[in-house]
Amino acid sequence: MAIIALAAVITMALAPAGRSATTPISGLGQQDALLVVDPDGIVVVAHNPDKAMIPASTLKVLTSLAALHYLGANYRFPTEFTRVGQNDLGIRGYGDPLLISEVVAAIAHELATTLPAEMDDILIDERYFQGPLSIPGVSASTNPYDAPIGALCVNFNTVFFTHVQGRPRSAEDQTPLLPMILPRIRQSGLAKGRIVLSPERNEVPLYAGRLFRHFLEREGVSIHGKVTVAPQALSGTPLVYRHLSPYTLPQTIQRLLEFSNNFMANQLLLAMGAKQFGPPATLEKGVRALSLYARHVIGIEKCVLVEGSGISRHNRMTVREMDKILARFSPHADLMTRQGRERYKTGTLRGVRTRVGYIDLKPGERYRFALFRNRTGKSTVPVMRQIYRHLANSRN
């Protein structure tokens, strides 16, 4: 039995690309692709390995790698606070994807020790990202995965709400329900859910500024004026405080992969583009940086990249290209979600299910796998079960 299993593995490794006749995985069709590679880099299962397909959110593995390359593992996103004019506070964003309420509250606590007890306006400088920004695949829906990106964003540009005794309330104890969101809640007609901030009418930076205002006033700093978007860049204004994210880049990536957050992925994409080609950050610079990394560092030439999260159906990649990405990402595999012996990243779009990652059969014996299914109604689960059975049999 062991000899037969080993012979099957050798036959599959030598099979021409795209053939699946000798592959012991049933149910795979022309719109499926699969590659499994053993610890020595030998292909043990292959089906359409060189067919370009939609990777969906597994593209985030490449974006994460490129961010580590351009920004560095020790990178922490900054946010700067400056004194403008006589008594205004300027806030300059650099794309931090993890400016959540708890972090904003901590920043306000630090600022309160530096700022005067009374201030006038809060001016938002979001020019590190060049707007308006449109990400391919992102629509104007109310789904959190369609949240817009920007230089100064809080809480992933969403507001979680509920109703208590018929009145709207925040569904998160750490986050106040700001008055500017009430019309959006009424418009939604929902009893509870998430409001996705709009990129129109400066809603994203204004919400961020007003959340900072709330927490500053809670710390005893009175803001007598308005929150507004600065008419020009605040560069050159005296720095009051420079905040660095409490999360290192690997910690940010771990959260990005765990929650498959499209907003976070494209924040990283624009940040790496600005680092490589200079501000302001643009989608074009980010995609160019990602493509150059894929080509010159990973060594994949033909993939098509239009954004960094995988939400666009115009992204294209082969499972053989994904395997090269996984080989490079292996030292960072612990940043992926773990289930049993597997560390993995999934992807989901309409008619698309993907799953990539690593299977550690035992310490030091790591297999890489990449599975793309680009047809409606097909799950990755039955294929993964067969892969596990095949690997177990091949060792007997």
Give the C-alpha separation, 174 to 167, whole Å: 18
Please check the confidence at residue 349 and state whether its pLDDT lies above 90.
Answer: yes
Q: Global pTM? A: 0.91
- As a dihedral over the C-alpha atoms of residue 141, residue 146, residue 150, residue 155, rounded to 10 degrees, the angle is 100
Please check the confidence at residue 233 and state whether its pLDDT lies above 90.
Answer: no
What is the pLDDT averaged over residues 123-146? 88
Q: What is the CA radius of gyration of the chain?
A: 24
142 versus 248: the higher-pLDDT residue is 248
- As a dihedral over the C-alpha atoms of residue 233, residue 236, residue 242, residue 243, rounded to 10 degrees, the angle is 10
- pLDDT digit string (tens) for 166-178? 999 999 999 999 9
Give the C-alpha separation, 297 to 67, whole Å: 13
Which has the closest alpha carbon to 154: 198, 201, 96?
96
Other CB atoms within 10 Å distance of the CB of residue 150: 26
* Complete domains list, the chain, with CATH: 2-69+266-394 (3.40.710.10), 78-247 (3.50.80.20)
Q: Can you name the residues that pair with 244 across neighbouring β-strands?
A: 78
Phi-psi region of 278 (alpha: psi -120 to 50; beta: other; left: phi over 0): left
Place of tokens 């992102």: 138
Q: Can you name the residues that pair with 247 across neighbouring β-strands?
A: none
Query: Which tokens belong to 258?
Result: 């765990």
Query: Which tokens belong to 329?
Result: 């990402």
Candidate ranges 129-138, 233-242, 259-268; pick with highest mean pLDDT: 259-268
pLDDT band at 395 (very low <50, low <70, confident <90, very high): low
Give the C-alpha separation, 336 to 358, whole Å: 10
- Please check whether residue 38 is in contact with residue 367, taking contact to mean a CB–CB distance below 8 angstroms: yes
Q: What's the distance, CA 346 to chain centroid?
A: 13
Residue 24 is predicted with a pLDDT of: 73
pLDDT band at 23 (very low <50, low <70, confident <90, very high): low
Residue 264 is predicted with a pLDDT of: 97
- pLDDT digit string (tens) for 297-306? 999 989 999 9
Other CB atoms within 10 Å distance of the CB of residue 339: 9
Give the C-alpha separation, 270 to 284, whole Å: 9
Place of tokens 């033909």: 302
Give the C-alpha separation, 145 to 148, whole Å: 9
- Please check whether residue 44 is in contact with residue 10, taking contact to mean a CB–CB distance below 8 angstroms: no
What is the pLDDT averaged over residues 271-278? 98
Please check the confidence at residue 289 and state whether its pLDDT lies above 80.
Answer: yes
Which has the closest alpha carbon to 158: 115, 211, 109, 106?
211
Other CB atoms within 10 Å distance of the CB of residue 47: 26
Q: What's the distance, CA 67 to chain centroid?
A: 11
- pLDDT digit string (tens) for 101-119? 999 999 999 999 999 999 9
